[in-house]
């Protein structure tokens, strides 16, 4: 219900409190204040008539917690997504969901910039927040507005200090670096002996999560192929069901065949991707290897295929990319390597 108060200046202050909603504004005349109040109350009634309800007292932290509990069952999320959602809970958790404004988002972006976050990182923060609000609107029927967050994300391009496109990596490991990494993980005292996993990544061009999901029954010994379950899709709307059969070339086939022959009945590489993501950078630091990520092994593998003479469409069968534009960013060719013999 709206309340009207005449200020000392002669202006009229109108405040609306209804079903957890609070709005206030000042107008030169009471007539203008009443017209605005009628419009706001009409909008509230329309929202409720469409089956949405206003989240009285509900904070963004609670919305994000509900979203996390619904989707991260059994650790389904990757470490990065879990970390980003946690950061949003920490930074915006106390804001009432129904009162989220562009000012809250502006201040959040300013703080992230001051902390040294880049444009692509902040864009990812906002994308995850928008997705959580959209889930709350469509599933929980809360009157939240993810488009407000998406507008702030689009506005990042007008901040001159921010670059919302992530820079393409050109890092390729040297033969010496790879040899030292494999030797490090094959030491007797190593609790996570992932030397073979590194070799397989270099031979197959697969992502870490894809390798860790391969099971023995996914390997076809006749066609020399493997089915990659729920492969990452360039269209973010494709969440599941994107299984792909890809060829296992050279050493990738030799290693997969050997593991099946050894009696593996479950996963061929029985490691958690989160564990590998933790131990790999620690090994790099211990060996003095700078700026190398596990995902760079995929870059290396695909680059080697091109250097061996495979065509774009052939490499795309291995990598799963849908277009040359997407595939090209993973491929860093060295001129001297073009002298290798074709396959």
Q: Which residue's entry shows tokens 């494999």?
A: 182
166 found inside a domain: no
Same domain, 25 and 95: no
The answer as to whether 95 is a domain residue is yes
Q: Which of 104, 109, 110, 61 is nearest to 85 (CA)?
A: 61
Residue 69 and residue 26 share a domain: no
pLDDT (tens digit per residue) in 174-228 = 999 999 999 999 999 888 889 999 999 999 999 999 999 999 999 999 999 999 9
Shared domain for 221 and 130, answered yes or no, is no
Distance CA 152, CA 236 (A): 20
Collapsing DSSP states into helix, strand and coil, what is residue 257? helix
Domain boundary among 12, 30, 49: 49
Question: Which pLDDT belongs to residue 236?
Answer: 47
* Per-residue pLDDT band at 71 (split at 50, 70, 90): confident
Q: Residue 235 pLDDT > 60, yes or no?
A: no
Tell me the CATH number at 120.
Answer: 1.10.150
Is the residue at 165 inside a domain? no
Mean of the per-residue pLDDT values for the chain?
84
Task: Please check whether residues 152 and 191 belong to one and the same domain.
Answer: no
Q: Are residues 182 and 319 in the same domain?
A: yes
Select from 127, 158, 189 the last residue of a domain. 158
- What is the domain count for the chain? 3
Are both 33 and 64 inside the same structural domain? no
> Is 170 a member of any domain?
no
In a domain, 188, yes or no: yes
CB 137 within 8 A of CB 147: no
325 and 198 co-located in one domain:
yes
Determine the 3-state secondary structure of 79 from DSSP. Answer: helix
Q: Which residues contact 175 (CB under 8 A, 6 or more apart)?
A: none
Domain assignment of residue 87, yes or no: yes
Residues 185 and 225 both lie in one domain: yes
Phi-psi region of 250 (alpha: psi -120 to 50; beta: other; left: phi over 0): left
Of 330 and 198, more confident: 198
Domain that holds residue 98: 60-158
Global model pTM greater than 0.85: no
98/140 same-domain check? yes
Query: Quick one: pLDDT band at residue 147, thresholds 50, 70, 90?
Result: very high
Do both 90 and 179 map to the same domain?
no
Specify whether 206 is located in the same domain as 89. Answer: no
- Asked whether residue 93 falls in the same domain as residue 193, the answer is no
């Amino acid at each position: 219900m709206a309340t009207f108060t005449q200020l000392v200046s002669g202006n009229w202050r109108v405040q609306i409190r209804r079903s957890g909603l609070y709005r206030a504004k000042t107008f030169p005349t009471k007539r203008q204040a009443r017209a605005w109040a009628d419009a706001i109350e009409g909008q509230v009634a329309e929202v409720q008539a469409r089956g949405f309800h206003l989240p009285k007292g509900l904070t963004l932290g609670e919305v994000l917690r509900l979203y996390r509990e619904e989707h991260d069952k059994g650790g389904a999320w990757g470490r990065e997504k879990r970390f980003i959602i946690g950061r949003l809970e920490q930074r915006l958790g106390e804001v009432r969901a129904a009162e989220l404004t562009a000012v809250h988002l502006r201040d959040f972006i300013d703080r992230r910039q001051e902390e040294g976050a880049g444009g692509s990182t902040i864009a990812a923060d906002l994308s995850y927040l928008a997705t959580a609000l959209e889930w709350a609107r469509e599933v929980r029927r809360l009157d939240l507005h993810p488009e407000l967050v998406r507008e702030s994300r689009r506005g990042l391009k007008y901040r001159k200090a921010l670059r919302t496109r992530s820079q393409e990596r050109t890092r390729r490991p040297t033969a010496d670096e790879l040899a030292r990494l494999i030797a490090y993980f094959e030491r007797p005292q190593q609790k996570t002996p992932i030397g073979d996993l590194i070799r397989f990544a270099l031979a197959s061009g697969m992502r870490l999560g894809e390798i860790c999901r391969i099971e023995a029954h996914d390997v076809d010994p006749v066609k020399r192929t493997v089915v990659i379950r729920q492969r990452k899709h360039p269209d973010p709307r494709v969440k599941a069901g994107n299984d792909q059969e890809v060829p296992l070339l050279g050493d990738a086939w030799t290693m997969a065949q050997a593991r099946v022959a050894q009696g593996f009945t479950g996963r061929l590489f029985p490691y958690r991707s989160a564990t590998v993501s933790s131990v790999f950078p620690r090994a790099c630091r211990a060996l003095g290897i700078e700026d190398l990520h596990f995902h760079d092994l995929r870059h290396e593998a695909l680059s080697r295929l091109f250097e061996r003479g495979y065509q774009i469409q052939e490499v795309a069968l291995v990598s799963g990319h849908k277009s040359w534009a997407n595939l090209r960013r993973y491929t860093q060719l060295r001129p001297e390597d073009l002298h290798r013999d074709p396959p």
